[in-house]
A and B are shown apart, each in its own frame.
Chain A
Amino acid sequence: MAVAGSAVGLGNFLRFPGKAAENGGGAFMIPYFVALLLLGIPLCWAEWSMGRYGGRKGFNSAPGVFSVIWRHPLSKYLGALALLIPLGVYFYYIVIEAWCLGYAWQYAIGSESLMNGIDPAGYKQHFEQYTGQGSDGALFAGGISQTLIFILITFALNFYLVYRGLSGGIEKFCNIAIPVMAVCAVCVLVRVLTLGTPDPNLVDQNVVNGLGYMWNPQPEALLKPATWLAAAGQIFFTLSVGFGVIINYASYVKPKDDIALSAITASSVNEFFEVCLGGMITLPAAFIFIGATMGTVVAVGSSFSLGFAALPNVFAMMPGGQLFGFLWFFMLFLAAITSSLSMLQPVNAFLKEGLGLDKFKATALLFTVSSVGTLFVVYYSKGLSALDTIDFWAGEFCIVILALVQAIMYGWVLGTARGKAELDNGAQLRVPNFVQFVLKYVTPAYLIAILAGYLFAPSGDGKSSAFFERINDIMKPDNFVQRISILIVLGTLVMLWIMVYFAGRRWEAEGRYSKLDE
């Protein structure tokens, strides 16, 4: 439950429906399930296996674990990707976490902005104002906004919990909070599925068509490489695979613990929250109240916008809507805080293990770096451009790259025989042998095909690939913030590489590598 608690977060209830809407609903679901079966679950097992293997050899951070598996000076620099992703995602994840807390607060005090009956345009406008989408620096204009206060509270709370080492306590708390959230989500789901046609003037915007938007297969859309990349990225994001979190967490697991069962249980519980609850609530609700143009809400804002814009309409139509609105966003905040705490752990562990910093110094350095990243996202809030750009490069593109690195590392460097032996150690659940074949051949080939399609296959106008279309878009004069966002991600990577260089020298001097040969 603790691992499931960390896995369930904003990816399930906010990012998944947003990504599905952005990629045409039903067009997204086939690549999504293919990615779950061929990438997500197999790589989840691989990551747990590699993490515990590295942990048994005395390393807890991804650069260290990678060094154990591939005894080459470059391996630790590849491991830096597993630090960049959780840190980069944390820059903006914390902001969305704060929106959830802010919305919970507004429901708790009965704010009129969120309790106005059915008012799709009004709630969308409120969300845009609340998140400062009108202009850069909007949250700082005219004094400190409420949003900013909640961001500060959330940021401080995360670091307080990390410093005090209370994340375990929070996870225990989530053993209660996660089932409560499931019950709350089921109540909201029942309300969504019984909405019928709320506006008699818009007969097409009904619940059946909403479900159809999400589930009608669209085979013609399967030719878009960007959709396959988004689906793979979403699977990795939601399962925390290729994220750097599991490899660090698994390194602390005892040799006789059943990691095979832990991995698949966490994945399945997470998928239940995502597919059966998150998607079935937000996407049909957005279709009913916003219509098939909901993709524009995501395109103008971010993948995380849809739930905030659509769900207040649902709560307005529920008996006890204020209570459900409060419970929903507060539970979302709790689910998010376990995830954001787990994002800080990989870098925190590396700073202690690699640079020898004590608890205070490691936390202070992490606080400083993440403050800069988060402040950037908060200030450049126009159209949530900074948030969305970092989400794409760190939370989608880099995740797929790291997943490919890990698949090759597991299948071709560690070897499936050693990997399976590690996975089977202490396991009640025997992972079928064909999974090893999938991990060695299918997963890397699949990821290479997705990346090659995204980078090189003609898209849209038939000339440029989806990747170069994005690059061309970023290079337009108006997109200054997107360019700086990419520099923030690259700058963070360079900073981590420098730290990894010093960590490598330190491990060499301590003789930790030579101990591996004994």
Chain B
Amino acid sequence: MTTGGWIFMTLSISSVLLLVIYTVGKVLLTANKQ
């Protein structure tokens, strides 16, 4: 795997994980408020 490949993989997976954590966290916080 090239350096570009490692960077692309790391950035992509971490972005998806951050998005999941943000949205699921927001859903849980909203549900608790209600």
Inter-subunit contact A217/B1 (CB<8 Å): no
Contacts of A208 in B (CB 8 A): 1
In the complex the two chains form, what is the Cα distance from A213 to B17 in whole Å?
22
Report if A216-B23 is in contact (Cβ < 8 Å); known contacts: A276-B13, A428-B30. Answer: no
Could you give, for residues 3-17 of chain B, a 1 whenever the CB lies within 8 Å of some chain A CB and a 0 otherwise? 011101100110011
Q: Taking CB as reference atom, which chain A residue is nearest B14?
A: A276
Q: Taking CB as reference atom, which chain A residue is nearest B1?
A: A212
In the complex the two chains form, what is the Cα distance from A268 to B6 in whole Å?
22
Contacts of A268 in B (CB 8 A): 16, 19-20, 22-24
In the complex, besides A261-B23, A269-B23, 19 extra interface pairs with C-beta distance below 8 angstroms are A29-B12, A33-B12, A208-B1, A211-B1, A212-B2, A215-B6, A215-B9, A215-B12, A216-B4, A217-B4, A217-B8, A261-B30, A265-B23, A268-B20, A268-B23, A269-B20, A272-B16, A272-B20, A276-B17
Inter-subunit contact B17/A272 (CB<8 Å): yes
Contacts of A280 in B (CB 8 A): 13
| Docked complex: A256-287 residues within 8 A CB-CB of B | 258, 261, 264-265, 268-269, 271-272, 275-276, 280
Q: Taking CB as reference atom, which chain B residue is nearest A30?
A: B8
A125 to chain B, nearest CB (A): 30
Which one, A209, A211, A428, contacts B9 given CB within 8 A?
Answer: A211
Give the interface centre of A29, A261, A272 by most chain B CB atoms within 10 Å: A272
Inter-subunit contact B5/A216 (CB<8 Å): yes
Inter-subunit contact B13/A428 (CB<8 Å): no
User: In this assembly, does A26 line the interface, its C-beta being within 8 Å of a C-beta of chain B?
Assistant: yes
User: In this assembly, does A187 line the interface, its C-beta being within 8 Å of a C-beta of chain B?
Assistant: no
A interface residues, Cβ below 8 angstroms from B = 26, 29, 33, 208-209, 211-212, 214-217, 258, 261, 264-265, 268-269, 271-272, 275-276, 280, 428-429
Which one, B1, B8, B12, B24, contacts A265 given CB within 8 A?
Answer: B24
Inter-subunit contact A215/B16 (CB<8 Å): no
In the complex the two chains form, what is the Cα distance from A276 to B17 in whole Å?
8
Q: How large is the interface on B (under 10, 10 to 19, 20 to 34, 35 or more residues)?
A: 10 to 19
Main SS class of interface, A = helix
Inter-subunit contact B27/A261 (CB<8 Å): yes
Could you list 20 examples of A-B contacts with CB < 8 Å? A29-B12, A211-B1, A211-B9, A212-B1, A215-B8, A216-B8, A217-B5, A217-B8, A258-B30, A261-B23, A261-B26, A261-B27, A265-B24, A265-B27, A268-B24, A269-B20, A269-B23, A269-B24, A271-B19, A272-B16
Q: Taking CB as reference atom, which chain A residue is nearest B10?
A: A215
Inter-subunit contact A276/B16 (CB<8 Å): yes
Inter-subunit contact B23/A271 (CB<8 Å): no
Inter-subunit contact A211/B5 (CB<8 Å): yes
In the complex the two chains form, what is the Cα distance from A216 to B7 in whole Å?
9
A179 to chain B, nearest CB (A): 11
Give the interface centre of B1, B2, B24 by most chain A CB atoms within 10 Å: B1
Contacts of A209 in B (CB 8 A): 1
Contacts of A272 in B (CB 8 A): 16-17, 20
Inter-subunit contact B26/A428 (CB<8 Å): yes
Which one, B1, B16, B19, contacts A216 given CB within 8 A?
Answer: B1
In the complex the two chains form, what is the Cα distance from A272 to B12 in whole Å?
10
Which one, A26, A33, A264, A276, contacts B23 given CB within 8 A?
Answer: A264
Q: Taking CB as reference atom, which chain B residue is nearest A275?
A: B16
Contacts of B24 in A (CB 8 A): 265, 268-269
In the complex the two chains form, what is the Cα distance from A272 to B6 in whole Å?
18
Which one, A212, A275, A428, contacts B5 given CB within 8 A?
Answer: A212
A386 to chain B, nearest CB (A): 34
